[in-house]
């Protein structure tokens, strides 16, 4: 029987725990009123783990199993790794010896913060007999009353265990259309209000976040105009109520009563619509059943209404239907209509995806050499673990379970890209940074598919590979062609040949026996798991702010309840790479802490100034630079990219239009914007969002969601 082999790289056959110095820590999280929100003592972690990573891990991921509450990172990681080791043997991938190597390599990767699984793995694996381990679900939305309320029930089960769900609701008839039994439909928005109310009542089992949800509507739906303006109208209503004296905080009486606040809204647009906008042609809104034209409007008017609403309240985002399906590896099965809540998982209806992210900062050595073999090995171990999760996990509906087994999509990704660039001394908005991002993603996805081929040699290709062989080969060829367009001259010479050989092998295997997994990679927002890994930037994002805040707790110098400012480590790393002296670094840091702004006079050149541009602030990274970074990565991602394009408050509707248009022209699958201060609940400070609903502390826009900087809770989507 064919089995995989695991060669120990990090542990050399020893126990993973023996490579770390373990210490006991006390953990306490204070709320915004300096009261204890969470407190545990004598927790065991490696000595290099930050207090913030310890706080988040202990408060979010430590569970009670068989009556005992976890108090050590060893217990948490071993709860997960022991089950995966058993499954590696049980599913026939590894023999006993290689399964032992696999388990300790995995433990070492997790202890050292090189990678992490999505939150549902930490919540549920080893706690429940059949755990829900996927973070992302796409569900179909039917038009009958039975289908609508079945979807409502299924969403509640997904939210309960800490996952998110997205659906394209375009099948629902509008209020203009008759029912089969007579009379008229209640309409799309009427049912969306029901779903929104239900989502608002669910807090993911009290685990970590509000229910995460995506609502997608096609641009030719008869109610598209009302859908586009839904949240903007509610924002206007909220503003009027605040002026009348009602409570407008994030958990206040106004925002909790507004419609549509518990989902990300996206309009699914086609190339035909985009061309109609550019040519200023009319656009037809069509009935759902017979596609009869209900109304004709100027395409440019609909386009501007999208930009106007997004300028007002950040919704709706856009999803580009034809681009998404150009890269659909299973086009013979069906088109892709939907996505998960943050738009990184885009695949067939009624499927799921478990995610994992690699912390890029750990693959640069002291001399900033990229540890390519460590990176490839980490991909192999984590991707195998993700593959193992599919067969024993729980799914909310029989159809999602069936499709997840038959297509087996996975979502490997990365985080901390912004810190990675800073350590290299590169500006986020630079050709060299974009070349690095292209290379890393190309290597990651090609490696994942190569391992998927190895999985297929052991257990066979995914069920519908033969049916989709033509489209699969087409998409792999697209990846390989894009690999040839990377600016290889800006990178170390050895990288090019590695990726070229990988993609040649992937294309070859596409013509042969194929792959175990229909999709391999996504770029997720990585909010809470980035805190677990002590990543200072998340996903594909640049640095948000170099000044961070920390609550001092009892036993720390200066006493309890004191909030201190500090400069994050990646800022210092960048200055060291750029060869500033220790005294210069201390001077720059002191000025930054005193004023909140980087004193450009203390930097040696305009090029150095560009290295320290952030997502927000007086000298923020331009929207085009955000889009260009996404465009550098997108051709190498199986799914899509969760990212919000930050716009300053002074941005105009025309600039929103231009951002959305450029995203389509650059070949992105989706795009969302967030204009600073466009939300009612956002305080005056540009760097933070609405206060956390749990501990009432400030939040920061990370990828597509506001994430609490104090307790790690995701409180709202951008």
Q: Which helix (H) or strand (E) holds 41?
A: strand 36-46
Q: Which positions ≥6 away from 301 have C-beta within 8 Å?
A: none
What are the residue ranges spanned by the domains of the chain?
A: 1-112, 131-545+614-718
The two tokens of residue 458 are 């052991």
With tokens 């070492």, the residue in question is 108
CA-CA distance, 97 to 609, in Å (whole number)? 52
- Determine contact, residues 707/547, Cβ cutoff 8 Å: no
Q: Which residues pair with 286 in a beta bridge?
A: 293
Q: Which positions ≥6 away from 411 have C-beta within 8 Å?
A: 118, 136, 344, 345, 353, 354, 355, 356, 386, 519, 520, 521, 522, 524, 638, 639
pLDDT at 178: 79
**Inter-helix orientation angle 494-511/469-483, to 10°:** 170
pLDDT at 470: 97
Q: Which ranges of the chain have pLDDT less than 70? A: 1, 203-211, 247-256, 549-564, 679-690, 693, 702-705, 715-718
CA-CA distance, 358 to 343, in Å (whole number)? 19
- Determine contact, residues 587/602, Cβ cutoff 8 Å: yes
* Separation in Å, CA 477 to CA 326, 460, 470: 12, 22, 11
Dihedral class, residue 231 (left if φ above 0, else alpha if ψ from -120 to 50, else beta): alpha
**Inter-helix orientation angle 623-633/431-459, to 10°:** 30
Q: Where are the alpha helices (DSSP H) in 345-464?
A: 372-392, 398-407, 417-424, 431-459
Q: Which positions ≥6 away from 278 have C-beta within 8 Å?
A: none
Which of the following CATH numbers is that of domain 131-545+614-718: 3.20.70.20, 3.40.50.2020, 3.30.420.40, 1.10.10.10? Answer: 3.20.70.20
pLDDT at 680: 59
CA-CA distance, 422 to 79, in Å (whole number)? 35
CA-CA distance, 215 to 339, in Å (whole number)? 9
- Strands 212-218, 164-168: pairing is parallel
* Separation in Å, CA 331 to CA 70, 324, 328, 352: 45, 11, 6, 17
342, 692, 705, 708: the catalytic one is 342
**Degrees to nearest 5, angle at CA 570 with 442 and 566:** 150
- Determine contact, residues 164/703, Cβ cutoff 8 Å: no
Q: 342 an active-site residue? A: yes
- Determine contact, residues 698/46, Cβ cutoff 8 Å: no
Bond preceding residue 316 cis, omega within 30 of 0: yes
103, 105, 177, 344: the catalytic one is 344
CA-nearest of 669, 334, 329, 333 to 476 is 329
Q: Which helix (H) or strand (E) holds 497?
A: helix 494-511
Provide the 3-class DSSP secondary structure of residue 64.
strand
With tokens 């050595």, the residue in question is 365
CA-CA distance, 621 to 612, in Å (whole number)? 10
pLDDT at 547: 81
The two tokens of residue 663 are 């995203």
124, 265, 340, 359: the catalytic one is 340
What's 296-312 look like in SS3? EEEHHHHHHHHHHHHHH
Provide the 3-class DSSP secondary structure of residue 418.
helix
pLDDT at 256: 66
Q: Which helix (H) or strand (E) holds 494?
A: helix 494-511
Q: Computed over its alpha carbons, how large is the radius of gyration of the chain?
A: 25
CA-CA distance, 660 to 307, in Å (whole number)? 8
CA-nearest of 516, 451, 500, 506 to 474 is 506
CA-nearest of 253, 238, 153, 133 to 195 is 153
CB burial of residue 142 (10 Å; 0-12, 13-18, 19+): middle
């Amino acid at each position: 029987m064919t089995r995989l082999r695991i060669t120990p790289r990090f542990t050399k056959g020893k126990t993973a725990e023996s490579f770390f110095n373990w210490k006991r820590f006390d953990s306490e999280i204070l709320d915004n009123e300096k009261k204890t929100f969470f407190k545990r003592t004598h927790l065991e972690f490696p000595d290099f783990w930050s207090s913030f990573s310890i706080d988040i891990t202990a408060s979010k991921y430590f569970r009670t199993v068989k009556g005992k509450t976890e108090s050590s990172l060893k217990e948490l990681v071993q709860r997960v790794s022991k089950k995966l080791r058993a499954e590696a043997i049980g599913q026939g991938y590894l023999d006993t010896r290689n399964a032992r190597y696999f388990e300790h390599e995995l433990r070492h990767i997790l202890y050292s913060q090189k990678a992490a699984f999505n939150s549902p793995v930490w919540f549920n694996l080893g706690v429940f007999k059949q755990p829900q381990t996927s973070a992302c679900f796409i569900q179909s939305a039917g038009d009958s009353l039975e289908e609508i309320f079945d979807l409502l029930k299924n969403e509640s089960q997904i939210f309960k265990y800490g996952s998110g769900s997205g659906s394209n609701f375009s099948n629902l008839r509008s209020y203009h259309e008759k029912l089969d039994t007579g009379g008229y439909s209640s309409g799309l928005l009427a049912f969306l209000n029901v779903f929104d109310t239900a989502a608002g009542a669910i807090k993911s089992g009290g685990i970590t976040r509000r229910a995460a949800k995506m609502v997608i509507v096609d641009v030719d739906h008869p109610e598209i105009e009302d859908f586009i303006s839904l949240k903007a109208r509610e924002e206007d209503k909220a503003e009027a109520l605040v002026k009348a004296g009602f409570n407008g905080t994030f958990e206040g009486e106004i925002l909790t009563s507004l419609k549509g606040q518990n989902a990300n809204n996206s309009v699914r647009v086609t190339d035909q619509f985009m061309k109609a906008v550019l040519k200023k042609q009319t656009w037809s809104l069509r009935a759902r059943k017979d596609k009869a034209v209900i109304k004709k409007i100027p395409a440019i008017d609909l386009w501007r209404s999208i930009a106007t609403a997004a300028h007002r309240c950040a919704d709706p985002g856009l999803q580009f239907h034809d681009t998404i399906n150009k890269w659909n590896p299973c086009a013979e099965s069906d088109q892709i209509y939907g996505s998960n809540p943050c738009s990184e998982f885009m695949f067939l209806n009624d499927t799921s995806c478990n995610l994992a992210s690699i912390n890029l900062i750990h693959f640069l050595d002291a001399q900033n050499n990229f540890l390519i073999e460590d990176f490839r090995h980490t991909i192999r171990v984590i991707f195998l673990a993700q593959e193992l999760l599919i067969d024993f996990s729980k799914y909310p509906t029989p159809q999602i379970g069936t499709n997840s087994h038959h297509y087996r999509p996975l979502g490997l990704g990365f985080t901390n890209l912004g810190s990675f660039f800073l350590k290299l001394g590169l500006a986020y908005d630079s050709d060299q940074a974009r070349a690095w991002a292209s290379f890393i993603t190309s290597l990651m996805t090609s490696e994942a598919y190569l391992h998927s081929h190895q999985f297929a040699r052991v257990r066979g290709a995914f069920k519908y590979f033969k049916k989709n062989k033509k489209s699969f080969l087409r998409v792999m060829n697209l990846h390989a062609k894009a690999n040839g367009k990377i600016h290889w001259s800006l990178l170390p010479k050895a990288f090019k040949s590695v990726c070229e050989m990988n993609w040649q092998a992937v294309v070859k295997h596409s013509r042969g026996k194929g792959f175990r997994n229909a999709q391999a990679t996504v770029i997720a927002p990585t909010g809470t798991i980035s805190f677990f890994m002590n990543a200072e930037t998340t996903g594909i994002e640049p640095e948000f702010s170099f000044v961070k805040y920390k609550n001092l707790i009892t036993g720390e110098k200066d006493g309890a309840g004191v909030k201190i400012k500090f400069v994050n480590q990646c800022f210092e790393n960048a200055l060291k790479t750029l060869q500033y002296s220790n005294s210069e670094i201390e001077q720059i840091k002191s000025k930054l802490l005193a004023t909140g702004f980087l004193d450009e006079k203390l930097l040696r050149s305009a090029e150095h100034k560009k290295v320290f541009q952030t997502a927000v602030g007086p000298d923020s990274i331009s929207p085009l630079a955000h889009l260009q970074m996404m465009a550098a990565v997108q051709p190498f991602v199986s799914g899509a990219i969760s990212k919000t394009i930050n716009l300053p408050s002074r941005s105009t509707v025309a600039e929103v239009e231009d951002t959305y248009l450029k995203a389509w022209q650059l070949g992105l699958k989706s795009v969302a914007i967030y204009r600073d201060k466009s939300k009612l609940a956002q305080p005056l400070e540009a760097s933070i969002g609405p206060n956390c609903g749990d501990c009432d502390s400030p939040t920061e826009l990370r990828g597509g969601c506001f994430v609490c900087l104090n307790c790690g809770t995701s409180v709202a989507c951008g």
